[in-house]
Amino acid sequence: MRMGITELAVKLRKREISAVELAKAYIDAIEELNPVLNAYVHLTFDTALEAAGQADQLLKEGDAPLLCGIPMALKDNICTDGLPTTCCSKILNGFKPYYDATVWGKLKKQGAVLLGKTNMDEFAMGSTSETSCYGAPRNPRNTNYVTGGSSGGSAAAVCANLAVYSLGSDTGGSIRQPASFCGVVGLKPTYGAVSRYGLIAYGSSLDQIGPLTNSVKDAAIVFDAIKGVDNRDQTSVDFDYGSSLAEYLDRDIKGIRIGVAEEFFDGINPEIKSKIEEAIKLFERNGAVIENIRIPALKLALPVYYIIACAEASSNLGRYDGIRYGYRTPSYTSIDDMIVKTRSEGFGDEVKRRIMLGTYVLSSGYYDAYYKKACLIREEINREFDAVFEKCDVLVAPTAPSTAFPLNCRRTSPVEMYLSDICTVPVNIAGVPAISVPCGMDSNGLPIGMQIIGRRFGEATILQAAHFYEQNAGEVVSAYEGGARI
């Protein structure tokens, strides 16, 4: 079993290994595996070793925070002062922000060691990470398969032990789905639980940053470190989670009410369905109460998601004009020509598709029929979720309708790709938290993910349920052989 954050922290404090040695072990592993996996797109080894040196100093002085000296990775859409942040888009080629995202500021303060920025779908738009301008990352479980997306690089890095943990962002499933495809844990927090300041926006009312880890406990530790209200993000919420969530994972699940909505199981691969049902039985055997419930509006979630996310994206991405930062077309005849050429050359097809879709649904004459209607249905979905959480503490569902698919197979059919988000998008629409935990393998040996969904700010409950499952289900996904050797 791979060491978790707590065990590594103990090792660091016992001086069995220094932070610099630990960082070097990860750097070696990245140099060995990244050429194949393409999990990282920007390597920051110099600053990593510098940070590790400082972490060693802090550890020597005692009283270092838990994450001090732990090597980790950030998705390439999280701003890092002085380090490349490109959203894996040509249009942000060479962009280095002069400010830190709030989450990175918090981790840096704890002494985190950033190894690099991870691969992703361009501007987080995609479900396979294949829309990255740096080429797709490979699934460490089988390199002919996709990692999922959009936080594919973050999932692959954690899976292949090229980082102890990573941060991703989740607008419609972008943490949970790749976590599921790669067989790791991924937590999408409640909207507002984690500051979005410095997260390059895709769908602002849906985006949330969260951790990808090897265990539920690590996810809780990282969530503890990054959560909290931020006066630079008005949508962040001052919620009192009590003390550390990581300390209360071992609570009994007896009496916990688990909702199972049949709408989540429509069109799901039977192998996945049976694994989830096994998991539900495990919960039931251990005293959980299973409630069969209905969420009829769920079938509308996908179109609602694509309308709202694309509408917001079309506005959020207007700023990439080549004037202030990033890519600028080399030859142009006027300012308008420059902006048009820069955007035409700088954005990939999927991004352009979503900008056009979003522009269309906001246009006068179409606004009421699309955007406004989507907002109304969103409210209905919220009401249905609220009603469900009166009766249940958590919902259990598949994370994705299928396991990872082969590289290059879905690129030609956008709608088919959009369908792979069907289980995850309702969670973002409702702003509730959800975690994906590995719950088995399909006949091809590819991981299956189970999604546990909670009520707003109910992270403690979903983490407890996920932790219980993880501790009691045995080894449902085989350990990845390789990566950093410690």
Q: Considering the complex, what minimum distance in angstroms separates the CB of residue 364 from other proteins?
A: 5
- Residue 34 touching other proteins (CB under 8 A): no
C-alpha distance from residue 131 to each of 91, 110, 269, 399, 402 (Å): 13, 33, 25, 21, 20
The β-bridge partners of 292 are 260
Select the span of 24-32, 71-79, 404-412, 455-463 touching other proteins (CB under 8 A). Answer: 71-79
The β-bridge partners of 210 are 168
Beta carbons of 441 and 393 less than 8 angstroms apart: no
> Does residue 75 have an active-site annotation?
yes
Q: Rounded to whole angstroms, how far apart are CA atoms 195 and 217?
A: 21
Q: How many CB atoms lie within 10 A of CB 81?
A: 15
Site size for other proteins (CB under 8 A):
43
- Residue 41 touching other proteins (CB under 8 A): no
- Residue 201 touching other proteins (CB under 8 A): yes
- Residue 324 touching other proteins (CB under 8 A): yes
b or e along 270-305 (b: 16 or more beta carbons within 10 Å of the residue's beta carbon)? ebbbebbeebbebbeeeebebeebebebbebbbebb
Select the span of 43-51, 89-97, 253-261, 275-283 touching other proteins (CB under 8 A). Answer: 89-97
> Does residue 150 have an active-site annotation?
yes
Beta carbons of 205 and 308 less than 8 angstroms apart: yes
- Residue 333 touching other proteins (CB under 8 A): no
- Residue 276 touching other proteins (CB under 8 A): no
- Residue 194 touching other proteins (CB under 8 A): no
Q: What is the DSSP string of 25-78?
A: HHHHHHHHHHHHH--EEEE-HHHHHHHHHHHHHHHHHS---TTTT-EEEEETTB
C-alpha distance from residue 327 to each of 96, 338, 403 (Å): 12, 11, 36
* DSSP designation for 270: H
- Residue 198 touching other proteins (CB under 8 A): yes
Indicate which single residue of 21, 50, 291, 321 sits in contact with other proteins (rule: CB under 8 A): 321
Choose, from 75, 90, 188, 227, the residue flagged as catalytic.
Answer: 75
Q: Rounded to whole angstroms, how far apart are CA atoms 212 and 218?
A: 9
Choose, from 89, 129, 150, 420, the residue flagged as catalytic.
Answer: 150
- Residue 92 touching other proteins (CB under 8 A): yes
Q: Considering the complex, what minimum distance in angstroms separates the CB of residue 354 from other proteins?
A: 15
User: Which tokens in the block code for residue 26?
Assistant: 């990860």
Q: Considering the complex, what minimum distance in angstroms separates the CB of residue 315 from other proteins?
A: 5
Choose, from 174, 180, 195, 236, the residue flagged as catalytic.
Answer: 174
Indicate which single residue of 57, 234, 444, 472 sits in contact with other proteins (rule: CB under 8 A): 234
- Residue 318 touching other proteins (CB under 8 A): yes
- Residue 344 touching other proteins (CB under 8 A): no
Select the span of 39-47, 93-101, 242-250, 422-430 touching other proteins (CB under 8 A). Answer: 93-101
Q: Considering the complex, what minimum distance in angstroms separates the CB of residue 171 from other proteins?
A: 12
Q: Considering the complex, what minimum distance in angstroms separates the CB of residue 151 from other proteins?
A: 16
Beta carbons of 358 and 311 less than 8 angstroms apart: yes
415: burial class by Cβ within 10 Å (0-12, 13-18, 19+)? exposed
Q: Considering the complex, what minimum distance in angstroms separates the CB of residue 333 from other proteins?
A: 14
Select the span of 35-43, 232-240, 287-295, 444-452 touching other proteins (CB under 8 A). Answer: 232-240
C-alpha distance from residue 289 to each of 57, 176, 299, 393, 397 (Å): 50, 25, 25, 10, 15
E runs forming strands in 176-256: 185-188, 208-213
Select the span of 176-184, 231-239, 283-291, 394-402 touching other proteins (CB under 8 A). Answer: 231-239
Q: How many CB atoms lie within 10 A of CB 2?
A: 16
Q: How many CB atoms lie within 10 A of CB 82?
A: 12
Indicate which single residue of 54, 93, 110, 204 sits in contact with other proteins (rule: CB under 8 A): 204
Annotated active-site positions, please?
Answer: 75, 150, 174
Q: Using CB under 8 A as the criterion, which residues of the chain lie in contact with other proteins when the complex forms? A: 77-79, 85, 87, 92, 95, 97-99, 101, 196-201, 203-205, 231-235, 311-312, 314-315, 318-319, 321, 323-325, 335, 339, 359, 362-364, 367, 371
